[in-house]
Structure 1
């Protein structure tokens, strides 16, 4: 009996050790959880923590000079997702049963052909691009349109002898050119060889010219010009926020810029959170981790959440109590929603 008892105890110990090893062994998954939220109207220190007194180590998230700015009583909070790249089996099982967290295959976040540093660098670049688009979209909303200017006309291009460096491209076949993306869209609507009427301004004088497009190396129709954009305005804008990556804060940055420049308090004293990419035209695009961002927003005190329309299906069953989710597709939608909040008027919801 004694030998049998020792055998049972040894077997139990071995089983326990194997269970512990299995539970702590890493699995090919990552865990997504609610990340920090940041008030785009506030100030942060070098570590990204909120602070109240401005100093060398505590600076406004959105810095604007060149014109008057205003302060709001409420908050416009951008939201983030924290990624745990090393996940054990036990942690994965716990995450699968969590309402706030999500466990997804590692390759969805870190593709096999890229290491973590490469992904982080891409996220950093996307974050910087989102800031630029946010500035462009916000200034456009405030009445400072983007101008698409000709920077060069190759001698063998379709526009040789018709357009010249410095011309501002205003229209294509009567449709306004409001951004580089819009110009490319308009030009590619008809095949190479089509005659396009291009409206332009040269030295303050508006004119039109017919240009027959040519096929480029990719086969797409080209006007045969190099272009650059300008957006004349009195402001100098800078967004100061480190250690955050990806493009999903674009919409909230745009709203923050508008709120600081306009005299009105867009927040109405409320804590409003949101997420969504934004392009130069003010279109709001989908993001990842919407469920985690909803919970992070509520934990930060938000009662309203602006969500991209394309993410609405993912919010079902993931909205914490006390949080109202508003569907937006454009910057105009977001501004209209903020304006309607005090009146209690119906808003498009997910």
Structure 2
């Protein structure tokens, strides 16, 4: 073999080896894929209803109201390799996204999982409140300290589980009410917070500090959550699923179980969307993968938050009708129209 041929052979082998090694190097991307869907009107694999109501009359249901999920591969604890990322970019049901869109910088996978669990818990409570508000069933709202941030003014002064009852003497009626009153001040201003702990009332005056992401916004270092006192017990059981995006479907299931009419009319309806206690539906992530999961499960109708309509239209699977859901009320009305009631159904095309 000539020297030139030998050199080319060695170079080719080196390029091949380097290419193979490079393809197996971890990259800071996450692969999002269609996840399982679950019928909020049905039961889990142990026969336990996903939504169970005790202490209030319920009615038989039919059809499906499925919430959808997204699974992922990658993350700080186990990054995907370049080859997997490249393969995902050409597959129609996989989205390859930068790692920080799922795992914010500086946060571990455990921290993200804990936050997703908290969001799921909050979304369930918001769904319960939204359904009961829609049914005009009275509930009582509490503003509760969910966590206290280290190094902030509230550390050692307020505790998780404290009920916030007032801000500078004005009653605290909701999280937005409390945060609004605090943020109307300037960093360095004092704020007096009334709280209830273990049945006893107390007050604490804190000096606000600038928010880490906005020096003009004052904070005291507490994460708040709306908590509600319901007149009867509602249990939602979904295993280890996290995040807030099933709120709309939980609320619809609760509404359906508490009303004598069969909401779905036997139809297979799936959907997604966050929900507020007032019934407002918000956008979510992974809409493409969730639609694919819904269609594979058998859904013909997909309830879509208005903020996701553009992306949903661009990736809608064949045979799946997109119904725009702005509020719990509008979603219920749209389903009723699908079942023959008079009215129009808002779509993503005319958002």
TM range (shorter): 0.7 to 0.9
Partner of 1:41 in structure 2?
41
Partner SS for 2:97 = strand
Partner SS for 1:27 = coil
Q: Map 1:130-145 to 2 at 5 A.
A: 130-145=123-138
Matched, 1:77 2:66: yes
Partner of 2:195 in structure 1?
none
Q: CA deviation at 1:7?
A: 5.0
- Give the 3 Å change call, closer, same or farther, for CA 22–185 of structure 1 in structure 2: closer
- 2: distance between equivalents of 1:258 and 1:111? 35
Larger Rg: 1
- Give the 3 Å change call, closer, same or farther, for CA 217–335 of structure 1 in structure 2: farther
- 1: distance between equivalents of 2:296 and 2:164? 52
- 1: distance between equivalents of 2:119 and 2:62? 30
CA contact (8 A) 2:142 2:174 kept: no
* Cα RMSD, aligned residues only: 3.2
Matched, 1:256 2:245: no
Q: Please list the CA deviations of residues 44-85 of structure 1 after superposition, one character each: whole Å capped at 9, or x if unmatched.
A: 13xxxxxxxxxxx43111111113323322110001111111
- 2: distance between equivalents of 1:288 and 1:152? 31
Q: TM-score, normalised by structure 2?
A: 0.73
Partner of 1:277 in structure 2?
274
Partner of 1:114 in structure 2?
107
21-30 vs 74-83, which moves further: 21-30
How many residue pairs match? The answer is: 291
- Give the 3 Å change call, closer, same or farther, for CA 232–118 of structure 1 in structure 2: closer
- 1: distance between equivalents of 2:67 and 2:93? 18
- Give the 3 Å change call, closer, same or farther, for CA 108–187 of structure 1 in structure 2: closer
- 2: distance between equivalents of 1:230 and 1:8? 73
Partner SS for 2:44 = strand
Matched, 1:324 2:321: yes
Q: CA deviation at 1:26?
A: 1.3
- 2: distance between equivalents of 1:230 and 1:292? 33
Q: Please list the CA deviations of residues 301-320 of structure 1 after superposition, one character each: whole Å capped at 9, or x if unmatched.
A: 10000011111122121000
- 1: distance between equivalents of 2:104 and 2:176? 32
- 1: distance between equivalents of 2:181 and 2:24? 57
Partner of 2:52 in structure 1?
63
- 2: distance between equivalents of 1:331 and 1:32? 27
Partner SS for 1:36 = strand
Q: CA deviation at 1:145?
A: 2.8
- 2: distance between equivalents of 1:324 and 1:153? 45
293-302 vs 3-12, which moves further: 3-12
- 2: distance between equivalents of 1:186 and 1:111? 26
Q: CA deviation at 1:140?
A: 1.3
Partner of 1:197 in structure 2?
none
